[in-house]
Amino acid sequence: MEQLISQLRGALSGTISTSQTARTAVRRDGSLFESIPDAVMTPATAADVSSLVKFVVKHKTSFPKLAITARGAGTDMSGAAIGSSIILDTSTLSTIQAFNGRFIQAQPGARIDDMQRILYAHNLTLASAPSNQHLTTLGGMVANNSASADSFRHGTTERWVRALKVVLADGNEYVVRPLNKKELDKKMAQPTYEGRLYAHLYSLLNKNYDLIRNARPHTTKNTSGYNLWNVWDKENGIFDLTQLFTGSQGTLGIITEATLEAVKRPAFTGTLLVHIPSLRKLDLVLSTIRRHNPLSIEGFDDLSFMQALQSHATLRKRLGKREYIKQQARLTSSALSLRSSGNQLLLAVTVDGDTQDIVLKKIESLYDELSRYKVGLDISIDSQSQTQGRRMRQSTLALIQDQITTWHASPFIDDMAVHPTRVAAFLPRLQKILKKYSFPAIIHGHFGDGNFHIVPLKDVSSAKERAKLEPMMRAISALIIEFDGTLSGEHGDGMIRGPWLPAQFNQEVYALFKGVKELFDPLYIFNPHKKTDASWEYSMSQLRPEAKMGQKR
């Protein structure tokens, strides 16, 4: 392998390393898995990505395990940012190339925080920027079809991608953007690799149009499988290949540039904290809140809220000294109210407006309507700075992963979603499964979207506990199917949920996913063992061997 890598070095302007230090530094992401690669490549230009793909294709027959896994910040929770062959570290491709009106264009390694600073200066924001945007890269956000707390109103990343540059399996870089039917016909008529690719994909999508449309999960957000239902819009005559790559986790090609549309940044926001005493009231409360069109509806159970508050030092660091002092009494009061009153959930409903008066009127209107349901209510008005509920949810999972000393935060059922109208019926059934397998867990997430981050707090290092993972996943998968939901609302399939795609989608649809994978990646060089070619046996073989209690990621 070293001799092969030496040949590759001569074709690059960037670097490639096989040192133990470089390889072990990227062996993990935010998931339960680890995999030490053979080499780590840091490209200097997009041309290096093309050179790498062409090199791997050339030598794939002689070295069958050769493959490429693109990696940004390495925060992926599904195991999609690790691999055993060549890791493509895109953090060096970090240029923000253009900003024009509401559109921003950048390379995959650009940090979302850096992009947001440019946009904030123009009162704009990336609508789908996730809560850990200080770590997230643009490539990772697009590849995972990420979402923000504001996804209730703004949707996931797929809604805001306007164009991509992608290196495909022939090693060339292509621009993909929405095409009308005339443009599509012209593209398909070209006697080129690109033309044939479009023609084959169009044929597959058009032939199975109704099957694909009906396969879409009945949820407001989804990043399981491939977004085939978003590519060919027969009614409007639009063929949008950006939708296929968004959420594909680098399994169909490598993104080298993305153009996203930004939205107006809220001038003022306010939060209404809603204490829910019983899940029986949840549907009524959520439907009432949704009618008011808030910016977001975030939820916590009592355990997640209390656990975060116990981490005083980290909470102070994350919120800042001034904000910590300002909010600590209110946050503690809210948490104690949850615990002492027997309330099961806390909803943080954020509204926005051009003035504080508008925000206050919106909150008062919602307050008056919810008061009839005998739920606890608490109002907080803020400017553009994050409100207490939003800041708390953004920090909760990170705090737990950093601070818990008795359990290990194990993300494997961390991202399921059902239709928002079915949340109250779904949660008790889910809790019953967790109880059956003795997996204590926190529940938080985007309740307005029916998207839950269920984080079991359990040591999975023992054979006894690992043996529970498969039957628990099987039971939860069956529950998701019953509710016409999805195993992943925004975190992706990767190694942890990829093996369950055949269960979530019927065999006909899964065969279409496989067909698309083989069309774009016939040699399986792009991020193997994820999504359609994931297997439970392989994934379990990559579990971290020392997933000990209380260890940091």
Report whether pLDDT(481) > 90.
Answer: yes
**Tokens matching residue 221:** 């957000």
What does the alpha-carbon distance between residue 347 and residue 273 come to, in Å, rounded to a whole number? Answer: 6
pLDDT at 370: 95
Residue 347: its H or E element: strand 345-353
What does the alpha-carbon distance between residue 223 and residue 219 come to, in Å, rounded to a whole number? Answer: 11
**Tokens matching residue 154:** 């703004």
For residue 121, the SS3 value is: coil
- pLDDT tens figures, 309-348: 565 555 566 556 665 555 555 555 555 555 544 557 888 8
- In the beta sheet, which residues pair with residue 98? 105
What does the alpha-carbon distance between residue 330 and residue 351 come to, in Å, rounded to a whole number? Answer: 19
pLDDT at 10: 87
pLDDT at 343: 53
Of 108-112, 290-294, 334-338, 380-384, the one with minimum mean pLDDT is 334-338
| Number of C-beta neighbours around residue 224 at 10 A | 29
pLDDT at 181: 98
In this prediction, residue 301 has a pLDDT band, given cuts at 50, 70 and 90, of confident
Greater confidence (251 vs 306) lies with 251
What does the alpha-carbon distance between residue 49 and residue 69 come to, in Å, rounded to a whole number? Answer: 11
Is the pTM above the cut of 0.75? yes
Report whether pLDDT(540) > 70.
Answer: yes
**Tokens matching residue 471:** 């039957």
Report strand pairing: 254-261 vs 103-106.
Answer: antiparallel
pLDDT at 330: 53
- pLDDT tens figures, 221-270: 999 999 999 999 999 999 999 999 999 999 999 999 999 999 999 999 99
- pLDDT tens figures, 31-45: 989 999 999 999 999
- pLDDT tens figures, 47-95: 999 999 999 999 999 999 999 999 999 999 999 999 999 999 999 999 9
pLDDT at 439: 83
Report whether pLDDT(480) > 60.
Answer: yes
Residue 477: its H or E element: helix 463-482
pLDDT at 234: 97
In this prediction, residue 281 has a pLDDT band, given cuts at 50, 70 and 90, of confident
Q: Which of 392, 444, 437, 384 is nearest to 414 (CA)?
A: 444
In this prediction, residue 550 has a pLDDT band, given cuts at 50, 70 and 90, of very low
Mean pLDDT of 522-540: 97
Q: Which of 435, 509, 545, 513 is nearest to 214 (CA)?
A: 509
Report whether pLDDT(152) > 50.
Answer: yes
Give percent of the chain with pLDDT exceeding 90.
69
pLDDT at 522: 98
Please state, rounded to an integer, the average pLDDT across all residues of the chain. 88
Q: How far apart are the first and last CA of the chain?
A: 29
For residue 135, the SS3 value is: coil
**Which domains, from first to last, does the chain contain?**
97-264 (3.30.465.10), 268-383 (3.30.70.3450)
